Amino acid sequence: MTQETAIFAGGCFWCTEAVFQSLSGVEGVESGYIGGTVENPTYKQVCGGDTGHAEAIRITFDPAVISYDDLLDVHFATHDPTTLNRQGNDIGTQYRSALFPLDAAQADAARAGITRAAADWPAPIVTTIESASQWYPAEDYHQSYWDGEGQRNPYCMAVIPPKLAKLRKGFSDRLRAE
């Protein structure tokens, strides 16, 4: 099996991780930090907004089951790519909507994905395409957050179920078998 990797930022990584781990063909989702200037940043540093990092997810997927284009379409449908440096009440560059292509083909696909998604949004998409710089995995307690602590976190309970409902409505054919 060939595996590929995609790196997306679309607000709180707890919320984006919960969406993508539900997809058939996604082998793993790791929450982490990318796009900043501080080596080995902590969650507290990134939340402070001074490191330049985005909260992001690194998705490992089987392209024979789900394509990079499919992942892009899910990304644009399950967060608001029209708000600069914010998702809902989360405000700051760490919550920006960004794509971090790992090669020229992903960069081309990212540009095409933005164009495809633009028709579905009433405002212009502000998602950036950034160079894939050093990836830093988030602390262990952030990984698979929705599967554990997130189910008891009021913020997650308010944000994640509507995202999962959008996913089920628009991409039911892409969901992992329960």
Q: Cβ atoms within 10 A of the Cβ of 102, count?
A: 15
Distance between CA atoms of residues 36 and 113, nearest Å: 24
**Rounded CA separation 12/15 (Å):** 6
Rounded to whole angstroms, the maximal C-alpha distance in the chain is 41
> Among 12, 15, 47, 156, which one carries the catalytic annotation?
12
Tokens of 113: 């994905």
- Concerning whether 12 is annotated as a catalytic residue, the answer is yes
Look at the alpha carbons of 103, 107, 108, 109 in this order and tell me if their dihedral is positive or negative: positive
Contact 113, 76 (CB under 8 A): yes
Planar angle of CA 115, 96, 81, nearest 5 degrees? 35
What residues contact residue 96 under an 8 Å CB cut-off, 6+ apart?
9, 54, 84, 85, 128
Give the residue numbers annotated as catalytic, written as ranges.
12
